[in-house]
Structures are given as C-alpha cells and as structure tokens.
Amino acid sequence: MLIFTNELRQGRRALIAWSISVAAYAAFFISFFGKMDMADMIKSIPEGMRTAFDMDVLDLGTVLGFWAMEGHIMTLLGGGIFATLIAAAMLAKEESDRTISFLYSKPLTRAQIVTGKLMAIFANVAIFDFIVHLGLQLGIVYLAKAEYDAGTIWWLALASLLAHISLASLGLAASSAMSKTKNALPLALALPMASFAIEIIAKASERSEWMRYLSPFYYANATDIVHNGSMARENILILIAVSAVGVALTYLMFSRKDLAA
C-alpha cells in the first residue's frame, strides 16, 4: 500500500500530462465530425486503406462510427505507449537507480513489492482511459454537437483499459527480466507500436488477416463494439488471460531474482 501511494504520487505529473494530451486529441479529432463530406472523402481513399480503417463496415454518418474509423486506434496506441512505458520502468528504474535495495531492506516480500507496483500501474492506466473517454464525450457534446450512446463509449473505454493492462503486464514481465531501464524502454515502445502496426497492416489484406490475432489491439477494436453496442465476451477473456500471463511471469521472475551487482 505504501509503495502504491508513493508510486502514484511520483507518477502523477506524467499521468496528468499523458491523459490530458490524449483526451485533447480525442476531443479535437471528434470535432471534425460532420464538418467534412465523408462520401467524397471515402471515394478518394484507396480500397486497401478503406478496409484497413473499416470504412466499408462502419456507419460514418454516426459520431461513433466516425470515431471508430481511426480515432480509437490512436488512443489505443497512445495509451499503449503510456502503459508500457510506466510498466517497463516501474521495477527496472529502481534497480538502475539502485533504490531497490532500500525496498529490499524493508519488511516486505518480493511479492508485496510487485503487488504495490502492479496496483499503481493499473490505477494509472484506469485513470488515463477514464480521462480520455471523458474528453471524447466532452468533444462529442460540445464540439461535434452530436447524439451518441454513452454506454458504447464506456465499452470502448473498458476495451482500451483491458488492452492497455495486457500490454502493461507484458511490459512489466519484460522489465522484471532485465535490470537496466535503458533496455526496458525500447521494448516498452516496441510492444504498442508492433501491436498498432499489425492491427493496421493485417486488416488491409486478406492474406495477412490471421496476424491480427497477435495484436492486443484487435481484441479491443472499435468496429465490433460500435457495431454490436458492446464488447464480445471472448475478447474480454482473451485480454484478461494475456494480462494474467504477464502478471504471473512478473511475480515468478521477480521473486527469484538476484539484485544486480
């Protein structure tokens, strides 16, 4: 609990900066809704791109269809970078700053240290996704001035949260396997970037369609949610399972680990 509150206190500035800027992006993006002629725009886009952004499936005449086209994937990416960044640094930064020996000398088990850090990461990601989707709704109401279903937005928020937590868990597992922040950070960037690239590229052609299953972003894709009004149960379970694997690996590796000399 002490580690949790200390981490939240220490990370509050980064959290505020990240969530406000991504929320501002969401509001800015959605403000274009209804301000351009979608039919003309779509005709000018090559077919591959059209399928990549689900323009063939989505109803671009609704504000959430417009958002699902390419707004959602960008907030997934932004939040993914934020989540893996804080997760990867969470344990590794203590080791490279050598402050970890302070925690190790206190009456805490290794598992308690991981739990404290894990809770801090989850709380950060949850606050981030809450603020971003709050920003999106403010944008819809005040800038786009459109009608929308708030339930669907919170499904999008939940999907983002689950995708971000699964990326963060993988990032945390990776960082507990290494001891230098400088190794953890590139990896933190690679995870969400790769997820983003796979999700976009794989959608564009049928041959690479199977690759989508490798990206956590696929399971949190907006098209299905906007189409169905909720997130498919199997997608929820898959993202939770990925997170559980990452978390379990972290506990396992961190509690058997020697302090770097």
Q: Which two tokens stand for residue 75?
A: 């907030």
Q: Which two tokens stand for residue 233?
A: 């149960």
DSSP codes of every residue in 177-245: H---HHHHHHHHHHHHHHHHHHHHHHHH-STTGGGGGG-HHHHT-HHHHHHHSS--HHHHHHHHHHHHH
Q: How far is the CB of 163 from another protein (least distance, A)?
A: 31
Alpha carbon 69 to its chain's center = 17
For another protein, the closer CB: 101 or 208:
101
CA distance 34 to 38: 8
For another protein, the closer CB: 7 or 199:
7
CA distance 145 to 214: 37
User: What values do phi and psi take at 243, rounded to 5?
Assistant: -60, -45
For another protein, the closer CB: 44 or 105:
105
CA distance 17 to 22: 9
For another protein, the closer CB: 39 or 261:
261
Q: How far is the CB of 255 from another protein (least distance, A)?
A: 10
3-state secondary structure of 61: coil
Q: How far is the CB of 10 from another protein (least distance, A)?
A: 7
Q: How far is the CB of 58 from another protein (least distance, A)?
A: 46
User: What values do phi and psi take at 55, rounded to 5?
Assistant: -70, -20
For another protein, the closer CB: 98 or 145:
98
Q: How far is the CB of 257 from another protein (least distance, A)?
A: 9
What distance, in Å, lies between the first and last C-alpha atoms of the chain? 28
Q: How far is the CB of 92 from another protein (least distance, A)?
A: 14
CA distance 229 to 226: 5
Q: How far is the CB of 178 from another protein (least distance, A)?
A: 16
For another protein, the closer CB: 51 or 115:
115
For another protein, the closer CB: 3 or 69:
3
Where along the sequence are the contacts to another protein (CB under 8 A)?
A: 2, 6, 10, 97-99, 101-102, 104-109, 112, 256, 258-259, 261
